Amino acid sequence: MRIVVVGNGMVGHHFVDQLIQENNADNNTQLDVVVLSAEPRLAYDRVHLSEYFSGKTADELALTTPEYYQENNIKFALNAKVININKLAKTVTTEAGEVFEYDKLVLSTGSYPFVPPIPGNDQPHCLVYRTIEDLENISASSAVSKVGVVVGGGLLGLEAANALKEAGLQTHVVEFAPQLMAVQVDNGGGRVLRSKIEDLGVQVHTQKATQSIETGETCRYKMCFADGEVLETDMILFSAGIRPQDTLAREFDIAIGERGGIVVNDQCLTSEADIYAIGECALWNNFIFGLVAPGYTMARAAASHIIGGDVTFQGADMSTKLKLMGVEVGSIGDAHARTAGALCYTYENQPLEVYKKIVVDAHQKKLLGAVLIGDTSDYDTLLQYALNDIELPEHPESLILPAGADAAPALGADALPDTATICSCHNVSKGDIIEAFDTGSCNLADIKSCTKASTGCGGCTALLKTVVDSELTKRGVEVKKDICEHFAYSRQEMFHLVKVAGIKTFDELLEKHGKGLGCEICKPVTASILASVWNDFVLKPDHVSLQDTNDTYLGNMQKDGTYSVVPRIAGGEITPEKLIVLGQVAKDYKLYTKITGGQRIDLFGARVEQLPAIWKTLIDAGFETGHAYAKSLRTVKSCVGSTWCRYGVQDSVGQAIELENRYKGLRAPHKIKFGVSGCTRECAEAQSKDIGIIATENGWNLYVCGNGGMKPRHGDLFATDLDTETLVKYIDRVLMFYVRTGDRLQRTSVWLENLEGGLEYLQQVVIEDSLGICEELEAQMQNVVDTYQCEWKTAIESEHSLKRFRQFVNSDKSDLNIVFVEEREQIRPATESEKEVFSQTQNSELKETELATELV
């Protein structure tokens, strides 16, 4: 069977994936699949397009590769826009003149951005936000612009605004409606959302109808509104909604809806028997679905019908949970209470800018809809109530009240029917998960691999784990939180044991609460806990055997067995004299030199026996260890702030230096990074850090629990306009609460996501002192500050510690396996082939020396 797929967006690719799985599952299925992509690349993730401006590349956004298609016998063509469908001959023709025959044709042409018919909308810096090529155009325009405006305040418009903000522009949003996200949230939610977006430095203009775009006076353009006001900008980004890309259907007599969209039935068949339409181009029951999850369901229905299955498309839930510029937004069902007899419960916390509303039926038994702004921790529970018609508790308002205020417990996995959808991206139900267990899956990783649950947007991760843990328990499998076989406790419980009992060594902890000899898991965990609680020197005889390699040698081991030398440069500020010392050390020891993204200078290639001498030189010059080897505070990145920058409103450098010097000795479950920006232009990238601080005219905005790494995450806005004393107090409390309760090797971002009650609960603990422990948290942090010691200074002053820094116990010789070659006027580790050449040369020289000795 010849299948031609026109379009290779997220939905088109998902359709192809379904066919691949069918081919792999049934060897009798003979499918000849051709994919025609109008774009110059294969499918990529449009949901996370804005991450392109925070460093994600086109390759990292890709959903597939040419190799994957080739391995599965999928033919494809790029830049292959289809311009003709011959329904009688069953062929399609591309713009390049290529003709492809089909038995089944699948149209997955998606949508296109709607650009309002405004005079002047076709000028060079008037752009749209849809493809990677659009992103490249936006990036190029941003490089020569200072101010950007997004036309459209819906979901896509706010995503586009985030892109402009990430690109460093002063950003405005212009919306025709009275509020932001008018489709998804109600008036109250729109008001709070606007406030939160404006707190982030984006100016919002609602009820604005743009009449023309003219030449500006202070900027490139001037937007003239119907009310007589104007707004000057250098760039205009249209994101005012989408329209179904139904041109082929219009031109070749395939039925379309009155307002556009290719009409399809439950099998996603069009008015033509062998032509299907899926995704945003398809109109089902007079409705266009603008989310990816319904498109995926359409793809499965079409694939099933083609291969003789019985899966159908019966509509889709349009509930959404997302983060817009770090602001949590959730919308479920009838968010506007339009159902006859509907009643509403509303909770609002104005200081924290949190808004929650649930819509229930007239009998207060069923959940019809919900709106969540600023805190979506209740989203999963509310969604299950709505989707599965679960009867509400006696007091429905308890579902949205904060923890401790008569709040209802989270809906347990056992309360969900087997038909409950756990992962909407891949349409995985609770029944599918149970079936996966029945067919051999044994753990969470197996379930993800088998069902693909939680491999899409990731929003169902917590719910999936709850269902899996519940099912394992039912099957008699103990769900443990033990850290390892030697301790039947979690890291948090071990922390409490150490602190409450005053335990100072691993041996004491093992004797009282563990068994066996310990392992590579519990030893480093204990080392971290002891350092956090008592702040002893990590290389003391009682502690040194617990450390991993990096902590043992107070440096990161590199791929060739050498170590890095990373002195602390607080806030990135350094004197010329210290720069000269670093250069001289690098020159004397022939080290590779690298300026890092964390505003430090790293020196690579130091042999273990060289480390003490190198560090003595650095410490004599006033440097301290940068803790680059430790699970602790690494850096506090800063911009130049109000001291030098014309946009700066606070002294970000001074603040960064004070914070780095305060927290430089703190050990934690994972490494910690700070960022301090002197204004909302965010040159220090503070929102991507564990602790992010952004200056305002009135003080400091504090963000918490962001990170880079394999799974980047923006920090959450924790508190605004803080004075320095309050800022430090809140950071003390947040970090020490994390140190106390975080799991082994758990980043702050994951910790917050797993913290019951999420951000709101953390704010209650830290700001409102709901647990009554803030004074204790501050005291413990102050103890860490007061007992700080530079570990390298202590090490080089200890004869016992210095004995560790030898390559061989019984020899002063260096390791001959460490070989460098010169590249770009610096050293780098030799490759294996280069080492072989070096070894042959050494052996040849050695033989010549031996021969000369014999002759003598």
- For 436, residues 6+ apart whose C-beta sits below 8 A from its C-beta are 446, 447, 450, 451
The total of other beta-carbon atoms located within 10 Å of residue 769's CB is 13
- For 643, residues 6+ apart whose C-beta sits below 8 A from its C-beta are 651, 653, 654
Backbone angles phi, psi at 344, to 5 degrees: -125, 145
- Alpha-carbon torsion, ordered 76, 77, 81, 84, to 10 deg: -70
Q: Would residue 614 be called left, alpha or beta, if left means φ above 0 and alpha means ψ between -120 and 50 degrees?
A: alpha
3-state secondary structure of 561: coil
Q: Is 457 annotated as a binding residue?
A: no
Kindly state the tokens that stand for 657. Answer: 């230096």
562 closest CA partner among 828, 384, 772, 324 = 828
- For 322, residues 6+ apart whose C-beta sits below 8 A from its C-beta are 155, 328, 329, 330
Q: Which residue has the tokens 């919900």?
A: 370
Q: Is 679 annotated as a binding residue?
A: yes
Kindly state the tokens that stand for 200. Answer: 């982030």
Q: Which residue has the tokens 């949970």?
A: 321
Q: Is the alpha carbon torsion for 432, 434, 438, 440 positive or negative?
A: positive
Which CA distances in Å does 840 have to 818, 822, 834, 847? 15, 19, 10, 11
Q: Is 639 annotated as a binding residue?
A: yes
Partners of residue 484 on adjacent β-strands: 487
Which CA distances in Å does 338 have to 287, 329, 333? 18, 20, 10
The total of other beta-carbon atoms located within 10 Å of residue 633's CB is 25
| Separation between Cα atoms, residue 360 and residue 370, nearest integer Å | 9
H/E segment holding residue 581: helix 576-588
Report the binding-site residues for [4Fe-4S] cluster. Answer: 639, 645, 679, 683
Report the binding-site residues for siroheme. Answer: 683
Report the binding-site residues. Answer: 639, 645, 679, 683
